[in-house]
Amino acid sequence: MAVAYLNGEWMAPEDAKVSVFDRGFMFGDGIYEVMAVYDGKVFTLEDHLVRLKRSLEAIRLESPHTDDEWRAIINEAVQKGDETPAYLYLQITRGVESPRSHVYPGGSKPTVLITVMHAPVLERNEITPYKMVTKNDFRWGRGDIKVISLIANGLLKNEALDEGFDDALLFREGELTEATASNVFMVKDGVVVTPPKSNFLLHGITRDHVLKLLAGADVPCEERAISEDELLAADEIWITSTGHEVWPVGQVNDCVIGNGSAGVVWQVVDTLFQASKK
Ligand code: PMP
């Protein structure tokens, strides 16, 4: 059964309530992580804890817990949730402050929310390549911080859906950054390419995991800038995220990628990825 943890208390997710003066509600002033639970264990937990700390430091919010405390709370949430596979969502905001003010409150207590909810299981043949549309990345300049304020990502995603696509591939000054909720890889002539880490894109845990898997299998990889023309001429494109794992892209704008279905290198990386979950 799905479970929520709110500031030290356990409850059903629908019973978890926060104040309207929470800075997360008022300002989107908080950060989050989404983790996958496979076979009752949090996948790549340590990498998520590193990014969590990095996000907290970037928004100048002191972590309310030590790493050991986070591990204990997260593991208890997984046990109490008793869902597998599942998604564990962890959000920390700068807490409750009244009256509302842009100035950070001294000594306010961060609000900590964790939920564990059931995740759908997909058969491999249910993975249909996405149709993506290219769009201008007009988001703020700190896409590397996993902030809860996702208004631009939501606008771009929903524009793409309204135009008949599954998602958007984002370009900033002619260079690919990422998709609205995932990182992007392309394959050309057997070489896998992904944009380098920068302040304009999220340093995806799945991205790093995939790069490690490919390196271990001696598949050549490059982290470098990708233009729209280069992307459209790719043999394969994939997006990566905790929720999508490695997902093939079969079309960008009106251009079919490869033969429009999941490519041979995707098959390799998907097999490696599924094996790495065990
Ligand atoms: N980029 C963005 C904008 C995201 O929101 C996400 C996570 N949904 C990712 C990339 C992928 O990150 P991860 O692999 O850590 O889930």
CATH of the domain at 143: 3.20.10.10
Candidate from 200, 202, 212, 276 with most ligand 1 atoms within 8 A of CB, to mutate: 202
As for how many domains the chain has, the answer is 2
The amino acid that residue 104 corresponds to is: Y
Domain check: are 139 and 265 in the same one? yes
Phi, psi torsion values for 235, nearest 5 degrees = -80, -35
Cβ contact 156:136 at 8 Å: no
205-231 pLDDT tens trace: 999 999 999 999 999 999 999 999 999
Q: Does residue 183's CB lie within 6 angstroms of at least one atom of ligand 1?
A: yes
Tokens of 126: 């249910």
Assess whether 109 and 133 both reside in one domain: no
Q: Is 135 a catalytic residue?
A: no
Atom of ligand 1 nearest to the CA of 153: 3
Separation between Cα atoms, residue 57 and residue 45, nearest integer Å: 19
Question: Do 34 and 95 reside in the same domain of the chain?
Answer: yes
- Of 97, 118, 139, the one marking the end of a domain is 118
Domain of 56? 3-118
Ligand 1 pocket test: pick from 31, 42, 183 the residue with the most ligand atoms within 8 Å of its Cβ. 183
pLDDT tens, residue by residue, 28-77: 999 999 999 999 999 999 999 999 999 999 999 999 999 999 999 999 99
Query: What is the overall mean pLDDT for the chain?
Result: 97
Looking at the structure, do residues 233 and 270 belong to the same domain, yes or no?
Answer: yes
Domain holding 96: CATH number? 3.30.470.10
97 C-alpha vs ligand 1 centroid, how far in Å? 29
Cα 116 from Cα 114, distance rounded (Å):
7
C-alpha of residue 173 to centroid of ligand 1, in Å: 21
Task: Give yes or no: residues 108 and 186 share one domain.
Answer: no
Average pLDDT over residues 165-183: 98
- Pair 112, 137 in one domain: no
Buried b (16+ CB within 10 A) or exposed e, 257-272: bbeeebbebbeebbeb
pLDDT at 145: 98
Ligand 1 nearest-atom number relative to CA 180: 3
* 8 A C-beta contact, residue 169 and residue 184: yes
Which of 118, 135, 162 finishes a domain?
118
| Shared domain check, 8 and 88 | yes
Residue 107 has pLDDT above 90, yes or no: no
Q: Of 64, 89, 118, which closes a domain?
A: 118
> 178 CB under 6 A from ligand 1?
yes
Q: Which of 146, 157, 197, 212 is catalytic?
A: 146
- Averaged pLDDT for residues 164-177: 98
Which protein residue's CA is at the shortest distance from atom 3 of ligand 1? Answer: 181
Q: Residue of the nearest CA to atom 10 in ligand 1? A: 182
1 pLDDT tier (thresholds 50, 70, 90): confident
Distance (angstroms) between ligand 1 centre and the Cα of 241 equals 5
Q: How far is the CA of 184 from the centre of ligand 1 (A)?
A: 10
Does residue 204 have its Cβ closer than 6 Å to ligand 1? Answer: yes
Asked if 100 and 52 sit in the same domain, the reply is yes
Q: 33 CA to middle of ligand 1, Å?
A: 9
**Residue whose CA is at the smallest distance from ligand 1 atom 8:** 181
- Half-sphere exposure of 104 toward its Cβ, with a 13 Å CA cutoff? 12
Query: Residue 121 above 90 pLDDT?
Result: no
Candidate of 182, 200, 213 to mutate for ligand 1, largest count of ligand atoms within 8 Å of Cβ: 182
Do 208 and 269 lie in one domain? The reply is yes
Are 111 and 142 contained in the same domain? Answer: no
The reply to whether 110 and 128 lie within a common domain is no
Are 142 and 167 part of one and the same domain? yes
